[in-house]
Structure 1
Amino acid sequence: MAALTFELPDGTQRRVEVSRLLNAGYAGRSQADVAAHVAELAELGVPAPSTVPALYPVAPYLGQQTAEVPVQHARTSGEAEWALVVDETGDLLLTAACDHTDRALEAHGVAWSKNAGPDVLARTAWRLADVADRLDTLTLRAWVTPVGGGAEVLLQDGTAGELLTPGYWTEVLRERGELRPGTVLISGTIPMRAGVDPFAARWRVELADPATGNVIALAYDVLPMPEPIG
């Protein structure tokens, strides 16, 4: 299992031994946004889902707090998301996340592709109860740095209000018997800007609270692995 530690705004820390990791997909509240995301993925050769929203179990060790993601080839990319975390006390935390996915493998199976890369989580979090009254106003953004260098480019820019709520997924987890310490659920993502290459050398994601100015951020480099022998 992966061991994660989150720092809260008051300076205290919460530890989580990830026992179940779930990735939501096609989880926009707007059917137009869901259709747009399906179209984005179709351009990458990914077939449309049989039902929406979708939920994909992921190996727990893939929940990581890391600054580097090694990849086997050039067609991998992340997605700006929030993560719902049930900590060791049973309290619900909210943090930023980036689901790094193998897009080549995704054309053969979304669940397979989700298990071919990590879900990168930030090292800070908020108690869900502390932001529950303004969840829809939280902003979610992702920037990418092109392969070969250059300035980072804004790829995703939206709000948590575009996605199904943590409350929705809390009920799903409760019905599944998985609202237990060690569960981490990644939210699904918002649309990407057209014309920006997501196959990048670096990803940066921010979940921000305009009411307080507080920001939860993560960033990581995408590192090509050596060519295999044999």
Structure 2
Amino acid sequence: MNAIEFQVIPAAGAAYPARLALKNLVVAGWAGRDMAAIEHHIEELAELGVPRPSSVPLYYRIAANQCTQDAAVQVVGTESSGEIEVFVFQHDGQWLVSIASDHTDRKLEAHSVAMSKQVCIKPVANVAWRLEDVQAHWDQIVLRSWIDEKGSRTLYQEGPLATLRTPEDLVAGYLNSLNATSWPEGTGMTCGTVGAIGGIRAANNLEMELFDPVLGRSLKWTYQVECLPDVA
């Protein structure tokens, strides 16, 4: 079990704490709504040696101890990168929304997507919203991330949640894969990402933002990356 803490910021009223005793960490991959675009991306990655997914969407199980709220993380080698994703979980029977990074080893990805995700730690923010506060305008919410590149803050990702499957859809798909009807206690799931502007590349940090233009607020989180030597 990995205990992670959040400050929940409701649309109205005072903020309050929420604790997730994380037992199961799930990364929902291939979570876009446009199947033609997904197929095109699968073919692009296949040319780089990345194997095709066995199903779409695909639910990768990650060790719960790979989730962290530390502002600095360590990875082996220089060929990994992060990407912002919505992170959903339940607290006292209520669905909550935060953000996380599906940090992935891109070199290992060509051998095994599941392993490339498992070997990298998954940073998650310490703030959250109630899903019910944003559900009606979900598609208008924007995912963004920035990296430091050659000394400049560079926009790395930006796109609306309208391009991705909804949490309800992904939750239903995961439950179906388990042949279950209720969300497993202590489970958190990331919900897909938007494309990298200029291509996927490594960086020594990732600054993330989930921006709600309707309520005029953001969830933000930044983490730094230390690359450890890849020795043999």
TM-score normalised per structure 1: 0.90
CA deviation after TM superposition for structure 1 residue 124, in Å: 0.5
1:34, 1:82 → 2: CA distance? Answer: 19
Runs of 5+ consecutive residues of structure 1 not aligned to the other structure? none
Aligned to 1:158: 159
Deviations 1:164-208 (A, max 9, x none): 1011022234433361331101112111112x5621111111111
Deviations 1:91-122 (A, max 9, x none): 21111111101111111111111111122111
Change (3 A) 1:42 1:156: farther
Q: CA deviation at 1:150?
A: 0.7
Conserved 8 A contact 2:27-2:189: yes
Q: Structure 1 residues 95, 36: closer, same or farther in 2, change over 3 A?
A: farther
Distance (whole Å) between structure 2 residues aligned to residue 34 and residue 14 of structure 1: 35
Which residue number corresponds to residue 185 of structure 1?
189
SS of residue in 2 equivalent to 1:152: strand
Summarize the Cα distance change of 1:152–1:45 in structure 2 as closer, same or farther, 3 Å threshold.
farther
Distance in 2, matches of 1:48 and 1:220, equals 30
What is the alpha-carbon root mean square deviation over aligned residues?
A: 1.9
Q: Is 1:145–1:201's contact at 8 Å kept on the other side of the alignment?
A: yes
**In 2: Cα distance, 1:25 partner to 1:154 partner:** 22
3-state SS of 1:153 partner? strand
Cα 1:184–1:12, aligned 2, differ >3 Å: closer, same or farther?
same
CA displacement, residues 114-138 of structure 1 (integer Å, 9 cap, x when unaligned)? 1111221111001111111111111
Structure 2 partner of 1:80: 84
User: Which letter maps to 1:217?
Assistant: K
Query: What's the counterpart of residue 59 of structure 1?
Result: 63
Question: Percent identity, aligned pairs only?
Answer: 36
Q: Cα–Cα, structure 1 residues 111 and 154, in superposed 2: closer, same or farther, change >3 Å? A: same
Residue pair 2:81, 2:200 contacting (<8 A) in 1 also: no
Could you tell me which amino acid in structure 1 is paired with residue 3 of structure 2? A
Q: Which amino acid aligns with 1:7?
A: Q
Match of 1:2 in 2: 2
Q: Which of residues 112, 133, 137 in structure 1 aligns to 2:140?
A: 137
Q: State how far apart, in whole Å, the 2-side matches of 1:40 and 1:46 are.
A: 9
Gaps of 5+ in 2: none
- How far, CA to CA, are the matches of 1:48 and 1:122 in structure 2? 30
What is the alpha-carbon distance in structure 2 between the residues aligned to residue 183 and residue 153 of structure 1?
33
Match of 2:120 among 117, 120, 130: 117
Number of residue pairs matched by the alignment: 225
Change (3 A) 1:139 1:226: same
Paired residue type of 2:190: I
* Mapped partners of 1:202, 1:138: distance in 2: 23
The aligned counterpart of 1:220 is: 223
Greater CA deviation, 173-182 or 218-227? 173-182
Moved more, 92-101 or 31-40: 31-40
Tell me which amino acid in the other structure corresponds to 1:224: C
The question of whether the paired residues in 2 share the 8 Å contact of 1:21 and 1:57 is answered with yes
**Would the aligned equivalents of 1:25 and 1:187 in 2 still touch at CA under 8 Å?**
yes
Paired residues of 2:77 and 2:229 also in contact (CA < 8 A): no
